[in-house]
């Protein structure tokens, strides 16, 4: 299985980290995947930390998770809001149950911690949330990117190339 022609959700909310949303979206699209930006509202323009806009294709309620093969969670400050939304937790738990690729970068680990899916999982993130992830049961590593089963995590924007190599490879399993 490859990402070609597979539909992927990219979560979006205000204050996402611009590169951590757009770089993965572009890489998945370059590899032939179909990425839908999904937020609380459809056709809403969310603004990244550095001012780059992202307009949602769909609202959470419009999504049939069974139509999708994976999910990307960007970092920035958006994960702190996203983790409080029951639909977001449902999304992450769905992909975890189905063992389908879940990508997280930087502060995005907060969302997976709130979804309760990190016990015994090897992850990385920005060092600022290391304690949050280890308290959620994760095994934290200071490395550019790491894959544990279907969960792919990365630290920060300079690590995006390695992160996306591993995320795209997760569709080959």
**CA–CA distance, 71 with 136 (Å, rounded to integer):** 20
Instruction: At 32, give phi and psi (nearest 5°).
Output: 95, 5
Residues in Cβ contact with 160 at an 8 Å cutoff, skipping those fewer than 6 apart = 19, 20, 23, 24, 105, 154
94 is catalytic: no
Q: Which of 36, 44, 107, 141 is catalytic?
A: 107
Element spanning 153, H or E: strand 151-154
Catalytic positions, written as ranges: 107
């Amino acid at each position: 299985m490859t990402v070609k022609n597979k539909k992927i959700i990219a979560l979006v909310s205000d204050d996402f980290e611009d590169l951590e949303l757009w770089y993965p979206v572009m890489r998945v699209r370059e590899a032939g995947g179909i990425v839908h930006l999904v937020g609380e509202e459809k056709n809403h323009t969310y603004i990244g930390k550095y001012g780059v806009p992202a307009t949602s294709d769909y609202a959470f309620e419009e999504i049939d998770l069974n139509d999708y093969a994976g999910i990307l969670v960007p970092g920035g400050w958006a994960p702190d809001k996203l983790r409080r939304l029951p639909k977001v937790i449902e999304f992450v738990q769905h992909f975890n149950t189905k063992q389908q690729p879940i990508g997280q970068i930087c502060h995005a680990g907060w969302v997976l911690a709130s979804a309760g899916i990190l016990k015994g999982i090897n992850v990385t993130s920005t060092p600022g949330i290391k304690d949050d992830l280890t308290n959620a049961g994760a095994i934290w590593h200071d490395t550019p990117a790491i894959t544990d089963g279907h969960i792919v995590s990365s630290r920060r924007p300079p690590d995006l190339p390695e992160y996306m190599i591993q995320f795209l490879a997760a569709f080959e399993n």
